[in-house]
Amino acid sequence: MKWIVLRSVGQRIPQYGLPLDEAPVSLVTPAGSGATWEQSETTTLDFAARVALPGMPGLSGDIAGLPPEAKERLRDHIVFYKKWRTFIAGSIAHLLTPCRPQEDRGGWVAIQLQHPKKEQNLLFVYRLDDACEERMFHLRGLDPQRKYVLSDEDRSNEKPECFTGSQVMDEGLIVALPHRYSAAVLVLTDRVA
């Protein structure tokens, strides 16, 4: 179980390189082991929600006080989870990055969830405090000859990419995340599914 604990800061927080009106809505979440608002840190709703999605997410904090656009985006994440929860509960997890202590906030983290009986995979990728805007990941357990379609949950209106299992296992898959503490959710499905 992973809890998403959020509270609005009541305004947008400037982000380097973006005009204030384009900065993402920033929220705060408790930091440290005390889980109190006295020790909190800023986060984006997408990052906070996507950290919890590979498990069984729960919500708390001041959800009613979130700005309308944050509530709508949170609703999108809940809809995604409800669509995929049976898959997530029955999937096999492949950690695509080395294990590190929880306090280590550097680098990238990637988890591939694979259903044992279906040719479907979810890839959760997190850029933490890392200067590199992209990283390559080698997926696991795919049929090397099978063709897969890769779609990005944030770019559902774009044409999905096609790969063979051997391409994404041997050559790797490059994921780009332009901002620190951001996340992507990628869906890899059998081309005929």
pLDDT in tens, 111-163: 999 998 888 999 999 999 999 999 999 999 999 999 999 999 877 778 889 99
Domain count for the chain: 2
Same domain for 38 and 103: no
Question: From CA 141, how far away is CA 48, in angstroms rounded?
Answer: 28
- The residue out of 88, 120, 144 marking a domain boundary is 88
CB 27 within 8 A of CB 44: yes
- The residue out of 88, 103, 133 marking a domain boundary is 88
Same domain for 107 and 65: no
Same domain for 101 and 68: no
pTM: 0.86
57-76: b (≥16 Cβ within 10 Å) or e: beeebeeeebbeebeebbee
Question: Which range marks the domain in which residue 64 is found?
Answer: 2-88
Same domain for 104 and 186: yes
- The residue out of 45, 68, 88 marking a domain boundary is 88
Note the pLDDT of residue 4: 77
Note the pLDDT of residue 14: 64
pLDDT digits (tens, 9 = 90+) for 62-95: 888 888 988 999 999 999 999 999 999 999 999 9
State the average pLDDT for the chain: 87
3 state DSSP class of 168 = helix
Mean pLDDT of the 165-190 span: 95
User: Does residue 174 carry a pLDDT above 60?
Assistant: yes
Same domain for 172 and 100: yes
User: Does residue 13 carry a pLDDT above 80?
Assistant: no
Same domain for 159 and 109: yes
Same domain for 182 and 102: yes
